[in-house]
Amino acid sequence: MESSDTIQLKTSNPSRGRPGLVYHCVCGFEFQVDPKVGGACGQCKRVVQPEAIQNAMSATVSIANFQDSDDVHHFELESDEPLPNRLYGHFRIDRKLGSGGMGAVYRAMDTSLQRYVAVKVMRNANHCIDSRIAMLLREAVAQARLNHPNVVTIYYVGRQDEEPFLAMELLPGPTLAEKMKSDGSIPYADAIQYAIQVASALRHASQFGIVHADIKPANLLIAGEGRIKLSDFGLSRIQSDPEQNTSVSGTPAYVAPELIRGNPISVQSDMYALGVTLFELVFGKLPFALQGVTLRERLETHLTADIEFPAVWPNSIPREFADVIRKLLAKAPDARYATYDDLIDALKLIEPVKTTTAGVALRTMAYAIDQFALLLFFVPFAFAILLFNTNAYRDYQWLSPIVAFMSLIVPATYLLLIYRGWRTIGRYLFQLRIVEENGLRPRREQLVTREVLRNSFAWFVPLVIYVDPSFSPDHLLSRILQVAFALFLAIDWATTLLLKGRKTLHDYLCHSRVVLAVDRAK
Using an 8 Å Cβ cutoff, are 219 and 230 in contact? Answer: yes
Q: Is 468 a catalytic residue?
A: no
- In degrees, rounded to 5, the angle at the alpha carbon of residue 222 between the alpha carbons of residues 221 and 226 is 140
Name all contacts of 330-335 with Cβ < 8 Å and 24+ positions apart: 330/272, 331/257, 331/302, 331/303, 332/257, 332/258, 333/256, 333/258, 333/263, 333/266, 333/268, 333/269, 333/272, 334/268
* Residue type (1 letter), 371: Q
**From 190, 214, 232, 507, active-site residue:** 214
| Best CA proximity match to 384, nearest among 404, 364, 357, 368 | 404
- CA–CA dist 143, 442 (Å, integer): 41
CA distances from 212 to 138, 193, 258 (A): 11, 19, 15
Name the β-bridge partners of 121. 104, 165
Name the β-bridge partners of 516. 432
- Dihedral pair phi/psi, residue 311, rounded to 5°: -65, -40
CA distances from 149 to 80, 146, 207, 294 (A): 35, 9, 15, 39
Catalytic residue list: 214
